Structure 1
């Protein structure tokens, strides 16, 4: 599904990503760890087509992403990818359900089917009682769970998750990782940057990112 070959990214003449090489197959759950500031978010942004590398090749589903313009990258991201950011920006005056539906705003969809999927995910993540509440009333951990559901609402081929459990307690983190594992068994690939020690129990493969590059851990 994904091939990164000799990816380099610079900021202000400083090398943030140094010769990154990575091969990921369909339906794998991938964990990327490393100290803060080492470039994990930058790597995920490149995978999501939000940033471009300064050199190297990125192939996604046989498409050379490094050759595409921003409009084409946005099209692929919208149709095939879900993205969970660390900060999960929301529309404060809208309800939880309305925020989850944002990725579908310009699309036709089966309202009954989509709302059933929202109900299923929100019950699993234990926020079903919050669906009609305004986002501004939620805690940071509750918002993070809303962000996870919003990224999954279109059932993307690739889910990219940047610290998806950073605001969650251990029990809820386990819920999220079990959900990710189940999704990978049902035709989704997940790439997650995390500091959680629990990820090693769930990921199919783990990589460590540092200033020298990306190292396979297991």
Structure 2
């Protein structure tokens, strides 16, 4: 009797196993499509916040409920003219200005200002020159509504809003639509010795709202 029960349990397990595996695969696909996704860093544009071959986890759900905030690191579908390689569709940058913001480089201490507030960008890579770390080139722009001004933390090696503005002198081509944003990168999980949260810098909390 016991042997028959054990045999029945084993048979039930093997019959249900394909169903369980199928459910697990569907759940994994849904999570990747709508909730969380991993991305690897292919370039030096975000050094040293993110280094080449770092892996980050991206929250794809958060911007269904709100727009990106200043200081957040985002992944987005890049405009075609931003790409040096047509296959490089996903970019990762930091949001510096949102719709209505006036973003200027630079003040007397060579800091970027947003709506007149200087940013203390402690995350910047200064390997190529601390005096120009905020931006090697001046600019003075106002971000259109529904768009974002994004920059890499390594301003000397980043195909970002600054570079595109200097290239096209067109604010629409230099910014990205909020609709192009895939999600917010919120944690570095690989390699383990670099694991860290990608929190919003305190300097962004004091930026005033843009003037109407």
**TM-score w.r.t. structure 1 length?**
0.24
Please say which structure displays the higher CA radius of gyration: 2
Select the structure with the greater relative contact order (CA < 8 A; seq sep ≥ 6): 1
Q: Specify which structure has the higher proportion of helix.
A: 1
**TM-score w.r.t. structure 2 length?**
0.24
